[in-house]
Amino acid sequence: TCLKIVSEAVVSTQSTGVFGDELLVFTMAEYHDDPVGVLNTIFRHVGVYIPDLTELREFIQNSNIDNTNSDVKKSFGGMFDETRYLLHNFYQPFNEDLADFLKDPKYKFDK
């Protein structure tokens, strides 16, 4: 079982051995909007113990978030348009493949 954050999506894979990998994909926006619901779905998907949702919510709310923008990073301003363009173009073919595979256009992350 593996949980990865790829580009703008959270991907959970469950190796079944016989049938290959089963994918469960969420956008980062979905995770940020409902982390408890997304984690609950992932726990069910991979077949592990599902903690009490109230305890899980409290754990998430009280956890330190290590990858936030610090005040120092914020002082530099937003991402350059050129950088955003390069990243979009780099990930676009992979996002289109994912969207086609999942039959869900939201994973194309169009501008």
Reading phi first (left if > 0) and then psi (alpha if -120 to 50, else beta), residue 95 is in alpha
- Express each pLDDT in 57-66 by its tens digit: 998 888 877 6
Q: How confident is the model at residue 7 (pLDDT cuts 50, 70, 90)?
A: very low
**Average pLDDT of the chain?**
78
Which residues on neighbouring strands pair with residue 15, listed in sequence order?
Answer: 21
Give me the pLDDT at residue 104, please: 87
Q: How far is CA 101 from CA 12, 94, 95, 104, 106, in A?
A: 15, 10, 10, 8, 12
Q: How far apart are CA 88 and CA 16, in angstroms?
A: 33
- Residue 5 pLDDT more than 50? no
Q: How far apart are CA 21 and CA 31, in angstroms?
A: 22
- Residue 12 pLDDT more than 60? no
Task: Tell me which residue has tokens 């493949």.
Answer: 97
- Residue 99 pLDDT more than 70? yes
